[in-house]
Each structure stands twice: as structure tokens, then as C-alpha cells.
């Protein structure tokens, strides 16, 4: 079966199932909106969502193709890492605005849903552009490299400051919840600009792109309540993400050049970076980042 062709039935079953899970998540958030989420509950739900992504990705190799499975895991790991970094900003926003603990559940849920909505728009727009203009990968590639350098430059900053939109709302007496939701929505737009070019650098399969993004965002509400303790331990996460984004950016530029029949630059052959190499590189960087972060945290302690 061609990995780019997924039946309409498979699309319907997948989207309905994911929507059902999101509905359950909303009902849980609504029911617990006046309670603080315990670390045990957050850990169990995080394990559940990660396990669901692993099981789903593994089954792709059975009913779709081995390539689709590899593409899913490469995309999911990259998007999950970016979402993890996104949560760091959520933590800073919540702390800076002093959002009540009882309001965090619903603020996070709406923030994650808005992120899903925005990524859906970006995916649709990106697919339309990519299918018509191959040269756009040059733009995506250079943008990711620029983002990678920006992340390295900002890796030492651990503060969030209000932008003009949130400051305007505050002056007009908006509630803390409204200001927090606005700040998170703006943050989601900025992160979508990074995440969509990154996933297109790993796969062109719409089904893989959509599912990798949805699974990367599922469970972030619960992960938020764990991340407060992990935030100061994963000290090299941002640097690891910058390396991954830079690598994908270079990969996109190479692919754009090859698609335009440019096989050499100043006499040097342009290499074709395989999906297997990309997946191995992403896993390797994330493992090394985690190991170095834990060693650094232990040494500091």
C-alpha cells in the first residue's frame, strides 16, 4: 500500500477517535476545574498518552507502511519536543500572571485546543503551498535555521514579559484568565510557525502530519503539572531543539536543491538525507540532551 494513500474510512475512524479522546479530556478538565491536579494523576495520564502514541505509530507499520511508521515517530518526537518547550512558556505565563490553581485546568485545555486549531490551519495552508511550489522548502529550511540560532541565543532567558496585546487587555480591566488565554494563543501562533516547517521536513504524508501533531499535543494539560519540577532539570532541552531544527532546516534546503535538479554546490555533491538517518539523529539528540541535563542537575545539586 502506498504510504501517501489513506482511505476515507481510516481518516474518519482516526479523527472521530481522536475527537472522542479530546472530549473525554475536556470533561475531565471541566470536572476538575476547581481542583489541583496531583502529580500521580498527571504522571499516569502522561504515560497513557505517550503509550497511545507509541502503539498507534507501531500499528502504522502493519496496515500502512514501514516508511509511514518511521515518519510518524520522527514527526511525533520532534513535535512533542517542541510542545514540551511550548509548555515551558505556559509555565512562565501562568506564574507571571499568577493564575489561580483552580483555573489552570481550563486555561490549559483551551490553550491546547487553540494550538490544535492553529496547526490545522497551518497544515492545510502548508500542504497547498508545498504541492504547488517546491522552492518553498528553501524558505522553510532557512527559517528553521534562523529559529535554531534564535533558540540558542535565547536559551539563557527564563522570563516571560507581556506583549502589547496582553498589556492592552490589562489596561482595559480584562480578567487574568482572559489575559492568560490571549498570551497562550499568541505563543501558539509563534510555535506553529516552527512546528509546521519542521514536520514538512520529515514527511509529506498528510495523515502522518495530522496524527503526529495531534498526538504531540494530547496529554500536554497533564504534562504541565509535571513540568514545573522538570523545568530546571532539563537545562539543555532548548539547545537540543535548536540542533534538531537546524538539522531539519539543512535537510529541507538539500531536498529543495535536489528537487530543482541542483546536485552539486561548488563541485560538492549534495547528499540525500534518509528518513532513517533523520529519525536516528532526532532520537540521539534528545537522549544526549536528557542525559547531559540530568548530569548537570545532579552536579548542581
- The mean-pLDDT minimum among 57-66, 125-134, 158-167, 212-221 falls in 158-167
Q: Quick check: 141 and 250 in contact, CB under 8 A?
A: yes
Predicted confidence at residue 72, as pLDDT, reads 92
Nearest-angstrom CA–CA distance, 132 and 129: 5
Residue in 137, 263, 243, 281 with CA at minimum distance from that of residue 200: 137
Amino acid 293: pLDDT: 83
The dihedral sign for the CA sequence 7, 8, 9, 13: positive
Question: What distances in angstroms separate CA 49 from CA 45, 110, 227, 239, one per listed residue?
Answer: 6, 18, 15, 25
Is residue 172 within 8 A of residue 276, CB to CB? The reply is no
Averaged pLDDT, 175-180: 81
Range with the poorest average pLDDT among 39-48, 145-154, 212-221: 145-154
Res. 239: pLDDT tops 50: yes
Q: Residue 160 — pLDDT band, cuts 50, 70, 90?
A: low
190-222: pLDDT as tens digits: 777 777 788 888 888 889 988 998 888 887 777
Least confident of 133-137, 142-146, 276-280: 133-137
Helix (H) and strand (E) counts for the chain? Answer: 11, 2
- Residue 268 pairs in a beta bridge with 265
Stretch 21-31: mean pLDDT: 79
Per-residue pLDDT band for 73 (boundaries 50, 70, 90) equals very high
CA dist 47 → 58, 223, 226 (Å)? 16, 9, 12
What are the phi and psi torsion angles at 104 (to 5°)?
-65, -40
Query: What is the pTM (predicted TM-score) of this model?
Result: 0.76
Question: What is the reported pLDDT for 56?
Answer: 93
Task: Supply φ then ψ for residue 264, to 5 degrees.
Answer: -140, 145
pLDDT number for residue 228: 62
* Domain extent listing, the chain: 8-300
Looking at the predicted structure, is the pLDDT value of residue 1 above 80? no
Give the pLDDT of residue 301: 59
Amino acid at each position: 500500500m502506498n504510504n501517501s494513500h489513506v482511505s476515507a474510512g481510516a481518516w474518519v475512524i482516526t479523527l472521530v477517535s481522536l475527537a472522542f479522546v479530546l472530549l473525554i479530556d475536556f470533561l475531565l478538565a471541566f470536572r476538575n476545574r476547581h481542583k489541583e491536579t496531583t502529580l500521580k494523576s498527571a504522571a499516569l495520564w502522561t504515560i497513557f498518552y505517550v503509550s497511545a502514541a507509541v502503539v498507534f505509530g507501531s500499528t502504522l507499520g502493519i496496515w500502512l507502511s514501514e516508511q509511514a511508521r518511521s515518519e510518524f515517530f520522527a514527526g511525533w518526537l520532534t513535535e512533542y519536543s517542541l510542545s514540551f518547550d511550548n509548555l515551558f512558556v505556559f509555565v512562565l505565563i501562568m506564574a507571571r500572571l499568577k493564575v489561580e490553581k483552580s483555573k489552570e485546568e481550563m486555561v490549559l485545555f483551551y490553550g491546547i485546543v487553540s494550538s490544535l486549531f492553529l496547526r490545522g490551519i497551518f497544515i492545510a495552508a502548508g500542504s497547498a503551498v508545498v504541492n504547488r511550489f517546491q522552492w518553498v522548502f528553501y524558505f522553510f529550511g532557512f527559517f528553521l535555521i534562523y529559529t535554531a540560532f534564535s533558540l540558542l541565543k535565547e536559551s539563557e532567558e527564563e522570563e516571560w514579559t507581556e506583549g502589547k496585546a496582553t498589556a492592552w487587555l490589562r489596561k482595559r480591566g480584562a480578567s487574568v484568565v482572559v489575559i492568560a488565554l490571549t498570551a497562550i494563543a499568541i505563543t501558539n501562533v509563534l510555535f506553529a510557525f516552527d512546528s509546521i516547517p519542521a514536520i514538512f521536513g520529515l514527511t509529506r504524508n498528510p495523515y502522518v502530519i495530522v496524527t503526529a501533531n495531534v498526538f504531540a499535543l494530547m496529554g500536554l494539560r497533564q504534562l504541565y503539572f509535571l513540568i514545573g519540577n522538570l523545568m530546571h532539570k532539563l537545562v539543555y532541552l532548548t539547545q537540543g531543539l535548536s540542533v534538531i531544527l537546524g538539522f531539519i532546516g539543512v535537510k529541507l534546503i538539500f531536498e529543495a536543491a535536489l528537487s530543482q535538479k541542483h546536485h552539486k554546490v561548488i563541485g560538492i555533491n549534495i547528499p540525500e538525507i534518509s528518513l532513517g538517518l533523520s529519525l536516528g539523529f532526532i532520537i540521539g539528540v534528545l537522549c544526549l540532551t536528557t542525559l547531559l541535563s540530568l548530569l548537570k542537575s545532579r552536579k548542581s545539586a
